[in-house]
Amino acid sequence: MTHSAPGRKMYMCLRCGKLFSKEDMELTPGVRCPKCGYRIIVKTRSPSAKRIKAR
């Protein structure tokens, strides 16, 4: 899975697997994949985990 610059939220279509940004998604009406038009998309997670110091 390819990720772009940190701080930029990326979305992935569950049907075709295309990764795209919010700006790409705004080209089509509603919340849809810009490639296939599928309406179910997920926000990708960052590849690194957050570390929190335990007390």
41 neighbors 17 (Cβ within 8 angstroms): no
Buried b / exposed e along 10-35 (16+ C-beta atoms within 10 A) = bbebeeeeeebeeeebeeeeeebbbe
Tokens representing residue 53 in the block: 């110091």
Helices (H), 1-55: 22-25
Mean local confidence (pLDDT), 40-54: 86
pLDDT tens across 3-26, in order?
455 667 899 999 999 999 988 888
pLDDT of residue 17: 92
Give this prediction's pTM: 0.67
